[in-house]
Amino acid sequence: MKKPDWSYLKQTDPPDFGQAEIVSQKVLDIEVNKRAAKCAKIIANSSDYCTFEKGLISIVILSCKRINSLTRLVDSLSSFLKDTETYRNYEVILADNGSGSELLDYAKNTGFFTEIINFQQNLGLVGALRRVYPRVKGEYILFLEDDFVAEYNNPFMQKCINIFEEYPEIGIIRLKNQRNWGKKFRRIAPLRKTQNGTEFWTWLPSKELIPFKTGKWNVWSAGSVLFRKVSYLSTGELPECPNIVDKKGRRQGMLYEEIYSRKYNKNWLAAKIKNCCPFVQPNDEEISPGWNEATL
């Protein structure tokens, strides 16, 4: 029988770490000690890099010509925020990548979005988010692509903020429910916990340093992540590039998740909260033109 594609599988409880390297507490301590003081200083001097409203979470949804996917996400997320999530200090921003009037009219009529940012042309994942991230008001940014679904029965936002407040080296929290933890380049540290008992694993950068090999996937990631705005802007913004495949054959997704991550990982680590994977990516839609296609 053919083994199911991991991208369609949800995480198990306890997690399936597969071929991932489970590092020791000593290794975790070394990695944290290299970063914590520097990250704390960056956070303390956030105004050198950006402005934000303390405690505000900016939920950024990037959409590109997939109205059915966006509708499904909005339905699930609006229900979750209304009926389940207890944290109320958030805004919801739609970043539309040249989808046209049908999607924009739908978005306006929902009354769900605090702000709609419309780009007349498809700028690609990198081009759009480069313009949106500095603009949002939140201290934290929750990024969702339009093909995700909120599927969770417990509030999670305050748990994330508690981790950020207690662990300065954590720049990003990964929230995707997908069975991809067991890839051989993952480095996962022992559980830690906040003062109120929220347990989380720390994901460390891959040891592989050869570009475009196994080390390309690290702690920075796209959809269904919550990250510090200052962690992004102190690292430096995403590369300025048109929505085309460049001369080295690199697409938008690679520029975002593989090239930029190598800069991000020098200072910041990622967290994955135990039993907290609120967002599912069904992978039943075509790849967004903003991610993989040359459309300009």
Q: What is the pLDDT along the chain (296 residues), one digit of tens a residue?
A: 455 666 678 888 888 888 889 999 999 999 999 999 999 999 999 999 999 999 999 999 999 999 999 999 999 999 999 999 999 999 999 999 999 999 999 999 999 999 999 999 999 899 999 999 999 999 999 999 999 999 999 999 999 999 999 999 999 999 998 877 878 888 999 999 999 999 999 999 987 654 545 445 578 988 899 999 999 999 999 988 777 776 666 778 888 888 899 899 999 999 999 999 999 998 777 776 666 554 44
Domain membership flag for residue 151: yes
pTM above 0.85, yes or no: yes
Structural domain count of the chain: 1
Residue 296 lies in a domain: no
CA distances 24 to 27, 31, 190, Å, are: 5, 11, 7
User: Quick check: is 72 in a domain?
Assistant: yes
Rounded to whole angstroms, how far apart are CA atoms 217 and 251? 15
Range of the domain at 280: 10-291
**CA dihedral over 38, 40, 41, 45, signed as positive or negative:** positive
Which residue has 């520029």 as its token pair?
255
What is the C-alpha separation between 272 and 283, in angstroms, rounded? Answer: 21
Tokens of 215: 């080390």
Q: From CA 92, how far away is CA 137, in angstroms rounded?
A: 11
Query: Residue 113 falls within a domain, yes or no?
Result: yes
- Rounded-to-10 torsion of CA 269, 275, 278, 280: 90
Residue 5 lies in a domain: no
Burial status of residue 12 (CB atoms within 10 A of its CB: 0-12, 13-18, 19 or more): exposed
Are 223 and 145 contacting, i.e. CB atoms less than 8 angstroms apart? yes
Is residue 233 a part of any domain in this protein? yes
Is residue 174, in this structure, part of any structural domain at all?
yes
Q: Is 44 helix (H, G, I), strand (E, B) or coil?
A: helix
Q: Is residue 126 part of a domain?
A: yes
Looking up residue 257, the CATH number of its domain turns out to be 3.90.550.10
Q: Quick one: how far is CA 84 from the chain centroid?
A: 21
CB neighbour burial string for 57-88, b if at least 16 within 10 angstroms, e if fewer: bbbbbbbbbbbebbebbbebbeebbeeebeee
